[in-house]
Amino acid sequence: MAFFTRYVILVCLFLVGCQSLTFDVAFFQPPITISQAPARPITHYSLYNNTTLVNLGEMKAQVPSFDGKGLLLASWTPHSRGTSGRPTFVVVHGGHGLVPTNFASALWLRDTFNANVLVLDSYWSRGQNENWATRTRFGANMRVLDVIAAGRWLRDVQNVDTEQLFVMGDSQGGWTVLRAFTDDPFINVQMTGLYRAGIAAYPGCFSYGTPTAPKLSPYRAPVIVFTGGKDTATPISECPKGVLESAQKWIHYPDQTHAWDSANRGAAGVPVDGECGRAMNVYNKFPVCRSDATTNDMRRNIHAFIEDLRTRPAHGVTSR
């Protein structure tokens, strides 16, 4: 990997000394090659119906990538009364790319918290529809750089309050959230002054300390995690003990599959409770069963988690 540009940060740790960290930013910044989102993505849903029709911003190239060499596609919906003084949520997708569930989550966050919402794409703009293989350069480290890029854009261009800036991800997006808040020297430097906390739903959480399966936990800021006992896509058996137990709150639903909050009738539609299907993933056609009760319980817990943080001063976050 000598041909990749390397960022080396010298980190001096109090009472420990100094250690160097090498992070191959160029490897985890595949080129941005596309500036327009597909009208009908991989699951054949209508992007228009899940954004414009439900009053979410159009998916368009607008967030400068971490390396500054292109614009990530995103749906940005600022509050009609301005961005300041209110929460902002970044929603990041799983390995299938953006699906209606992500837009449904954005709608719920927008309406519940009177929030600004950004739905961020990491694949389409790079000519990639999915990352079913998981442990590739399109995995957690790449996705974290995109989350950092989005946070900078929201802070510096959209003037959001970083004490109220949160990121929510599901599946590989949840994996991204866990990595983004992991106490890691390179990530700590980049995340300073950005996100207050993270929400990880049924996340991938294998953690081998390699570039494509990087270290997860302990966390430098509050994280809430939700897992399912019948989830064969991201089973908790893959999770080292500390990955889940280091979260500020970990809620486990023993009877739930992956993606219990599936928006199986689109972001604007009424989901069918109890309906089960199979993922399109060619390596693992895992079951997906919608559960209204579990979705509602998860959302109640997210609401309590966010409201509790909003009542307390932030530590280590620099607001504009």
Q: Which domains, and CATH codes, for the chain?
A: 29-310 (3.40.50.1820)
Percent of the chain that is helix, strand, coil (3-state, to 5): 25, 20, 50
pLDDT at 168: 99
Positions in the chain short of pLDDT 50: 1-21, 316-320
132 residue type, one letter: W
Asked whether 114 and 100 are in contact (CB, 8 A), the reply is no
Show the DSSP H helices in 78-184 as ranges.
100-113, 140-156, 172-180
What SS3 state is found at 63? Answer: strand
Q: Which helix (H) or strand (E) holds 294?
A: helix 292-310
The total of other beta-carbon atoms located within 10 Å of residue 45's CB is 18
- DSSP E strand stretches across 37-112: 59-64, 71-77, 88-92
Residues whose CB is less than 8 angstroms from the CB of residue 154 and which lie 6 or more positions away in sequence, other chains included: 88, 90, 116, 118, 160, 165
Token readout for 170 is 């599901």
pLDDT at 44: 87
| Model-wide pTM > 0.75 | yes
Please name the residue that has the structure tokens 């261009």.
Answer: 157
Residues whose CB is less than 8 angstroms from the CB of residue 155 and which lie 6 or more positions away in sequence, other chains included: 162, 165, 193, 194, 320
pLDDT at 22: 67
pLDDT at 292: 98
Asked whether 255 and 230 are in contact (CB, 8 A), the reply is yes
pLDDT at 262: 98
